[in-house]
Amino acid sequence: PDFFPDIAREELRRAAMDPEHGRLMELLGYRSMICVPITARGRVLGAMTFVIAGESRRYDQRDFELALDLARRAGQAMDNSLLFETVERGRRNAALLADASRVLASTPDVRSALREVGCLVGAQLGEMVQFVIADESGSYELFGWAAPDALDFVQRIRPLVNRLPAHAPVGVRHALSLQSVESFGEKDVVDLLARLPLSDDERALLGEVCAGITAPMVSRGKSVGAFVVRTRKKGRRYCPEEVELANDIAQRAALAISNSYLHRQATDAIQARDEFLSVASHELRTPLTALHLLVRTLQTPEGVPVPLTPEKLAIAERQILRIAKLVNQLFDLSRVTSGHLEMDLEDVDLATVVRDVAARMADEAFDAACTVAVRAPAPCVGRWDKFRLEQIVTNLLANALKYGRGKPVHLTVEDLGASARLTVRDAGIGILPEHAQRIFERFSRANPDRRYEGLGLGLYIIKQILEALGGTISVESEPGKGALFVVALIFGRKHGMIAARARRRAVSMEAAA
């Protein structure tokens, strides 16, 4: 067709279907012409045209048959080559997918794996390839690859695509909001850019992108990010197989990312458990050693019994109580983790509980040189578990004495109408802001040095008990100035009464109806 002026192309196509093609000859001024379609499996793939421009000879029937035969062979050859291309493309895609899967499975360092996969995919699919890993808070990280001559473009375009709104199909936010894979070509970019509020420079920069694929990365039903392919090659359009390939890679990457999260969680859990075991054995060994030494003083080297003095008895009791406390915490921990923390609900006055616990711990307060002041002016009765409330107050007061030695401790109980509020304030070492949330987690200790005994379990167990009772705990603190722990507890009984009242009203309305 390149031998013909542009005007003739459409005519040429038509002429291929029309053996007379008189109109075309007339148009072009050719003397004799054969024009036959090239077809394969019922599809027109092109046309073959022979012309005699100036000579007197005209094509005859034999020439025409020869042309038909040539066109048939050309059709077969073109069909074979198309088939070969399709098979070859499929093979290349399958090989790329296999390589990407191998890289993703070969290392727990998912970030470096994604960079390597980006490089593999980029060589085949586009000049810019990017994995966007997003977390629940909405922040994201980018890992990718760009062809050397696209690096500068990537630097320039990044700030722009980062701030594009979610409906702009080339922006990061859009990529993260996708439910299924999407692709676009040059025309889509032109349409899109016309609709976006951009400066001329920004529009020109984004306009350099000619085609792209964006695939959401979803694993175990949860979005973990998006996979993005972009090219500036004019006329490039991604075919369905390539879109599918990008989608497959996105799914494999998503699986690798969520596996890496699981891997990290598992390693953190194992590390926490190992640390806990070492802390727990240390904590148990200390009172056992003290008891052992004490027992050895109960007889002379010759084996003669030495009488037990009240002081020794007090030491023995303190160490046994310490062991008992540790064992009880471990027992509670196993109940919490197996979901067996049961509450024995009854009417309990929180004010009485706080006063009783403070009185019971007078000796410990004396040992810690702390004064303990309780302000609980009125009864504060709710439907709670008395033993568990005692446990909460005991633990918070014990912490206040432990971390606030020599300083006053204040306990208050207030009825706030819908809930009760218990506060425990000390003037001790306090807690750094970055540790304020962490201390309620399992095995978490804000003072890793062994100056203060403890398993890092007390606050975690308190939080679990409060969750079971419908309560919360929080802390306000300034390092060096002490800590204020605030417990809020809803009145189970009052809520019960409100619910019962609402039920009665519903029944009487029904009766009236």
Beta strands in 104-261 (DSSP E): 128-134, 140-146, 182-184, 211-219, 222-231
Distance (Å, whole) CA 438 – CA 444: 6
- 265: its two tokens: 């969680």
Centroid of chain to Cα 172: 16
With CA atoms as reference, report the closest residue to 215 among 190, 165, 249: 249
Q: Measured from the CB atom, is 21 or 442 closer to ligand ADP?
A: 442
d(CA 16, CA 26): 15
- Distances 283 to 68, 316, 343, 406 between C-alpha atoms, Å: 96, 16, 28, 23
CB of 326 to ligand ADP, least distance (A): 9
Cβ-based nearer residue to ligand ADP, 74 or 389: 389
| Pairing mode of beta strands 482-490, 471-478 | antiparallel
Query: CB-wise, 168 or 400, nearer to ligand ADP?
Result: 400
Closest approach, Cβ 115 to ligand ADP, in A, equals 39
- Position closest to ligand ADP via CB: 454
Crossing angle of helices 240-296/310-337, nearest 10°?
160
Tell me the two tokens of residue 127: 């000049």
Kindly state the smallest distance separating residue 450's Cβ from ligand ADP, in Å: 11
CB of 164 to ligand ADP, least distance (A): 44
What is the spatial distance between Cα 113 and Cα 111, in angstroms, rounded to a whole number? Answer: 5
- Cα separation of 205 and 160, whole Å? 9
- Beta bridge partner(s), residue 478: 482
Q: Which is nearer to ligand ADP, 217 or 455 (CB)?
A: 455
Minimum separation from the CB atom of position 340 to ligand ADP (A) = 20
What minimum distance in Å lies between the beta carbon of 266 and ligand ADP?
Answer: 23
Which CB atom, from 209 or from 473, has the smaller least distance to ligand ADP? 473
Q: CB 441 → ligand ADP: shortest distance, Å? A: 9
- Chain positions contacting ligand ADP, by CB under 6 A: 395, 399-400, 403, 426, 428-431, 439, 444-447, 454-460, 483
* Residue closer to ligand ADP, measured from CB, 184 or 460: 460
Task: Assess contact for 143 and 115: CB atoms under 8 A.
Answer: yes
Give the rounded distance of the alpha carbon of 495 from its chain centre: 37
Cα 77 from Cα 432, distance rounded (Å): 77
Give me 23's structure tokens.
């109109």
- Which residue, 60 or 367, has its beta carbon nearer to ligand ADP? 367
* Minimum distance, C-beta of residue 462 to ligand ADP, in the bound complex (Å): 8
Q: Which residues neighbour 298 within 8 Å (Cβ) at sequence distance 6 or greater?
A: 305, 306, 308, 312
Q: What would the DSSP string read from start to end of 126-159? A: -SEEEEEEE-TTS-EEEEEEE-GGGHHHHHHHHH
Closer residue to ligand ADP (CB): 171 or 430: 430
- Region label for 115, one of left (φ > 0), alpha (ψ between -120 and 50) or beta (otherwise): alpha
* Minimum CB distance to ligand ADP, residue 407 (Å): 10
Closer to ligand ADP by Cβ: residue 277 or 500: 277
For ligand ADP, the closer CB: 47 or 483: 483
Minimum CB separation from ligand ADP for residue 479, in Å? 9
